[in-house]
Structure 1
Amino acid sequence: MAGPLLRSRLSTRRLAVWISLALVCLAAGASLMLMQGIDRQLGDVTQTYAVRNAARELMNALSQAEANQRGYLLTRDENFLRPYREAVSSIDRRVEELLAMTQEDPGQAAKVAGITGDISTKMAEMARTIELVANARAAEAQTLTETGMGARVMTEVTQTLEAFIGEENAKLEARNAAIDRSRIGLVAALIAALAAAAILAYALLTRTQRQVTDLTVRQSGLVSQNEALEAEVAERTRAIEEARAFAEHERQRVEAILQDTNHRIGNSLATVSSLLALQMLRTPSQEVRNALEAARLRVHAIASAHRRLRLGDDLESASADEFLGTVIEDIRTTQVDADRMSITSSIEPIAVSARDATTIGILVGELVTNALKHAFPGDRTGAISVSLRREDGIAVLEVADNGVGLGPEVADGPGLGSVIIKQLSGQFGGVPDYQPRAEGGLRVRIALPELGAHRPPADPSPMEP
């Protein structure tokens, strides 16, 4: 709806602008035509006055020549001859000028041409009388003058020139009247064009002012809406920040609870391990002591795994390298003859779930405990290495020692340690592989394809006996 309305407004405005330009052009054209009309009028007036002056000068020259000719006839005074000759000498030139001025007007040119013969006759008559007087034939000159022919010719020439001048005056008045009418019309058109342009300009200005006012009102509305939206966004942002802070606080609280819970479990299991140690000291049977020692070591490994477990920000996972090394160190320090063996580890930062972290800690503890228990009988010294790494995307746990070694039958024997290792490995889809080392000792290699992968919670039922 807004698009067609906007296009309609733009089209109307564009049309108004073009109309204004056309009116301005019309006013400019009318002004040009008015100036041209004035120029033509001035040219016609100048031409008419020139023609009238030429006709009057011709009449004055003829009159002057006739007056001087009569003065000479009456007085025989030579002083009348000089102005007479000057007037006669200018008559022919004035006739030619008048013919040239009227060549574009056939009617007036015909009148001028019609009186040239009479002028010539009059001039011949005056020249003849002066010649007769100069030759002392005044009576003949008087007789020629009294015939009245020269007077009639002069009268006809004078009347013709008067009519000629009157006609020029009439033509000038007609031209002036026509030009005045044209000028009035052009002035009216000019005024109308300018008035229309002014009206359109006023309309455009009013429309523009109204649109500017509308835009200002809309902008004010948008500013108000923007301020309201900013206030709402600020409020929601504050609420989100409060919710985020509360969630962070809750996460930290839950993390602290989980850490405390794991620590308490570890402490409880450590207490159980201590009780087993006390019980082992009070038992006279070596076989019972050995069983209690094995149980104590396993409980201690589980306790260490719980105490050393540190969960990540999601409270659901941990990094293997952050807790397995400390678990292995705890196992080493609990040995009675810990100074006889060195335990090294190389653990990659593999992300595992919290449940898997405890399980893998127990598995590593069981493997290291078995190596400490069986690989170095008597006072034998040695070294144990533990590694956890990825090979082709699969986690591989490897525990190796340089002790006396074990036969392949141990993996399938009835020992509790072998059963525990097998079942714990099976939780990650792995099977322990016991490999004798060429340089002596044993290497236990377990591929754990499900370690670090998302899998459903394991069955919490106790392990098979």
Structure 2
Amino acid sequence: MTQAEWRVAHNAAVLMSLGLVLLAAVAALILVQGIDRQIGDVLHTYDVRNQARELTITLTGAESAQRGYVLTRDDSYLEDYHQSSSSIGTRLLALTGLTTDDPLQAARIRAIAVETVDKSDEMERSVKLVQDDRTADARRLIAAGVGERLMGSLQVALQQFIDEENAKLFDRNEQIDQSRRWLVGAIITALASAVILAYALFARTQRQVSALVLSKDQLHSENEMLEAHVIERTQALDEARIHAEQERQRVEALLQDASHRIGNSLATVSSLLGLQLLRTKSEEVRVALESARSRVHAVASAHRRLRLGHDLETASADEFLEAVLEDIAKTAGDPTAVNITGEFDPIVVGARDATTIGILAAELVTNALKHGFPDGRAGAIAVSLKPDPNGVPVLRVVDDGVGPPDGQSLGEGGLGSVIIAQLANQFGGAPYYERRPEGGLSVSVPMPNIETVSTAS
């Protein structure tokens, strides 16, 4: 090879090496930009999911307060209803702003907004009927199931909206991960090729030692810059992860504090009802106040005893219901007269469902104490939550008390039976009452529609 040919080959090799290094640098920059986009997508999806869940919680709170007001005419429920209703529009506006760049999700939000307006009108209509002293009409409106169907449709639509956001995030992450793999391969290939060319130039000529050393130094400098940039981005990701964990812990503390405050507030209401109970002379009023106090205490216990899991969205039924039974036993009067025991499988359910299950269990146990053990009669109540052979969770309360009188229709009675039926209906089931041959009553509530996250063996 002549000197001229060697010079041309040398220059071509040098240019190729520089081009490969430049290609690696460009690929690294594209990789960093992909990571930034991925972080942005995760944060955006978190905001959208959070707003959607907040809307679901707000709607549920408004419906619970509306039903509580219709059933009890307690103005405290009316205040909660107005507070929750005023937040619905804010949540919808936030979701609308977050989905402006996605026509499909924006259309879903518009459809959800229409259904939300219909649900709000239905709730407002029942509240207005109660305020106009037409409580029976309001209860018939609730019993018709229109509001429940609207709420069910809204919950399904919001869940589909959240699932669509999750699917979009998954698809975008898959695309970014695939691009990252190609880019990493391109960087490795480019750098390896550059090193091979540099080595070939060094091996074939001693006269180009100085030039090769300089080229090697330049390549080393580029590598250090890339490594420094990667370290910087890695540190940024670590800081973002630490910040996200701190935020999760803060949110967990806020949720626990909120549940505890709600429970304390309801406990205060229960105490006030107890004071009023001591001051009244009417036996009928005393019975009504005692029933109201017991139910408010049950709701307070359900909130104070709720302990969320690490995901801030679920709770274990066994820990939760054991705590609720302890509270009931402490307030049952003579703790030695009726022995209350529980046997629960560690079924993990959503936090909202856990609270409802706790209220349902408290209502069933309270009814058993009230009607099964009159005049200080001793006995036992067994509470269990286990899946049936089909995997459907079943809440069962069995007592060995006096049982219902002969000829009385089971499951038909006062407000307690209505509340039990409505709570069971939220899970797609209905209470089943059965007289026990040895005495007492067994009540089973299957919950086919409850969403269980996992069941520990």
Give 2:441's aligned amino acid. L
- Partner Cα separation in structure 2 for residue 305 and residue 431 of structure 1: 21
Aligned partners of 2:324 and 2:362 also within 8 Å: yes
Matched, 1:252 2:249: yes
Larger displacement relative to structure 2 (336-345 or 417-426): 336-345
Number of aligned pairs? 253
Distance, in Å, in 2 between the alignment partners of 1:258 and 1:206 is: 68
Task: Say whether residues 1:207 and 2:204 are aligned partners.
Answer: yes
Which residue in 2 is equivalent to 1:234? 231
| Paired AA for residue 351 in structure 2 | A
Distance in 1, matches of 2:203 and 2:240, equals: 54
1:275 is paired with a residue of what secondary structure? helix
Question: What is aligned with 1:437?
Answer: 436
Whether the 8 Å CA contact 1:411–1:418 is kept in 2: the answer is no
The answer as to whether partners of 1:385 and 1:399 remain within 8 angstroms in 2 is yes
- Contact 2:428-2:447 at 8 Å conserved across structures: yes
Q: Does 1:395 align with 2:388?
A: no
**1:335 alignment counterpart:** 332
TM-score by length of structure 1 reads 0.51
Give the equivalent residue in structure 2 for 1:280.
277
Deviation of 1:227 after TM superposition, in Å, equals 2.4
Asked whether the 8 Å contact 2:347–2:452 carries over to 1, the reply is no
Q: Distance in 1 between the 2:292 and 2:202 partners?
A: 100
CA drift of 1:225 comes to 3.5
* CA–CA distance in structure 2, aligned partners of residues 212 and 385 of structure 1: 89
Other-structure match for 1:345: 342
- Flag the 1:382–1:220 CA change in 2: closer, same or farther, 3 A: farther
SS of alignment partner, residue 376 of structure 2: coil
CA 1:288–1:265: 2 relative to 1, 3 Å: same
Query: In 2, Cα distance between the equivalents of 1:205 and 1:326?
Result: 77
Partner of 2:415: 416
How far is the alpha carbon of 1:272 from its aligned partner?
0.6
Q: What is the one-letter code of the residue matched to 2:394?
A: V
Contact 2:411 2:433 in 1 (8 A): no
| Distance in structure 2 (CA, Å) of the matches to 1:414 and 1:340 | 25
The 3-state SS of whatever aligns with 1:338 is coil
Distance (Å, rounded) in 2 between the aligned partners of 1:417 and 1:410: 15
Identical pairs, percent:
62
Task: Tell me, in whole angstroms, the C-alpha distance in 2 between the residues paired with 1:205 and 1:371.
Answer: 92
Greater Cα offset, 380-389 or 231-240 = 231-240
What letter matches 2:305 in structure 1?
Answer: R
Distance 1:229 1:206, change over 3 A: closer
- CA shift at 1:216, angstroms? 6.0
| Equivalent position amino acid for 1:444 in 2 | V
Q: CA deviation at 1:218?
A: 6.2
Shift of 1:291: 1.3
Report the Cα distance in structure 1 between the residues aligned to 2:432 and 2:209, rounded to whole angstroms.
86
The one-letter amino acid paired with 1:429 is: G
CA–CA distance in 1 between the matches of 2:293 and 2:317? 24
What are the equivalent positions in structure 2 for 1:52-131 lying under 5 Å apart?
none
1:76-113: CA deviations, max 9, x gaps?
xxxxxxxxxxxxxxxxxxxxxxxxxxxxxxxxxxxxxx
Report the Cα distance in structure 2 between the residues aligned to 1:305 and 1:351, rounded to whole angstroms.
Answer: 16
Paired position in structure 1 for 2:427: 428
1:11-37 Cα offsets, whole Å, 9 max, x none, are x9xxxxxxxxxxxxxxxxxxxxxxxxx
TM superposition score normalised by structure 2? 0.51
Decide whether the 8 Å contact of 1:266 with 1:304 is kept in 2: yes
Q: Offset at 1:211?
A: 8.8
What stretches of structure 1 of length at least 5 have no aligned partner? Answer: 1-8, 13-203, 455-465
Report matched runs for 1:306-321 at 5 Å.
306-321=303-318
The C-alpha deviation readout for 1:345-366, integer Å capped at 9, x for no partner, is 1111211112111111110110
Going from structure 1 to structure 2, the CA distance change for 1:446 and 1:206 (only over 3 Å counts) comes to closer
Q: Is 1:405–1:436's contact at 8 Å kept on the other side of the alignment?
A: yes
Distance across 2 between alignment mates of 1:224 and 1:410: 88
Question: Contact conserved, 2:431 with 2:443, CA < 8 A, in 1?
Answer: yes
Q: SS at the partner of 1:398?
A: strand
Choose the corresponding residue for 2:258, options 233, 258, 261. 261
1:402-458 per-position Cα deviation (integer Å, ceiling 9, x unaligned): 11112685544241111000000110111111122232211111111122258xxxx
Offset, 1:284: 1.1
Aligned partner of residue 344 in structure 1, secondary structure: strand
Distance 1:422 1:212 in 2: 90
CA distance in 2, matches of 1:389, 1:440: 23
Report the 3-state secondary structure (helix = DSSP H, G, I; strand = E; otherwise coil) of the residue aligned with 1:413. Answer: coil
Q: How does 1:159-174 map to 2 (within 5 A)?
A: none
Q: Return the index of the structure with the highest Cα Rg.
A: 1
Letter of the aligned partner of 2:404 in structure 1?
A: L
Q: 1:210 to 1:385 in 2, by over 3 A?
A: farther
Deviation at 1:223, TM superposition (A): 3.6
Per-residue displacement from partner, 1:41-82 (whole Å, max 9, x unpaired)? Answer: xxxxxxxxxxxxxxxxxxxxxxxxxxxxxxxxxxxxxxxxxx
1:305 correspondence with 2:311: no
Q: How far is the alpha carbon of 1:214 from its aligned partner? A: 7.9
Q: Is the 8 A contact 1:370 1:417 kept in 2?
A: yes
Q: Secondary structure at the match of 1:343?
A: strand
What residue in structure 1 maps to residue 319 of structure 2? 322
Q: Deviations along 1:157-212, whole A, 9 cap, x unmatched?
A: xxxxxxxxxxxxxxxxxxxxxxxxxxxxxxxxxxxxxxxxxxxxxxx997254798
Counterpart-to-counterpart distance in 1, 2:386 and 2:300: 24
Query: Partner amino acid for 1:266?
Result: G
Letter in 2 for 1:401: D
d(CA) in 2 for partners of 1:444, 1:385 = 11
- What is residue 364 of structure 2 aligned with on the other side? 367
Shift of 1:311: 1.1
Counterpart code for 1:438? P
Secondary structure of the structure 2 residue equivalent to 1:397: strand
- Could you tell me how far apart the structure 1 residues matched to 2:403 and 2:227 are? 74
Q: Give distance in 1, aligned partners of 2:280 and 2:244.
A: 53
Tell me, in whole angstroms, the C-alpha distance in 1 between the residues paired with 2:361 and 2:207.
Answer: 84
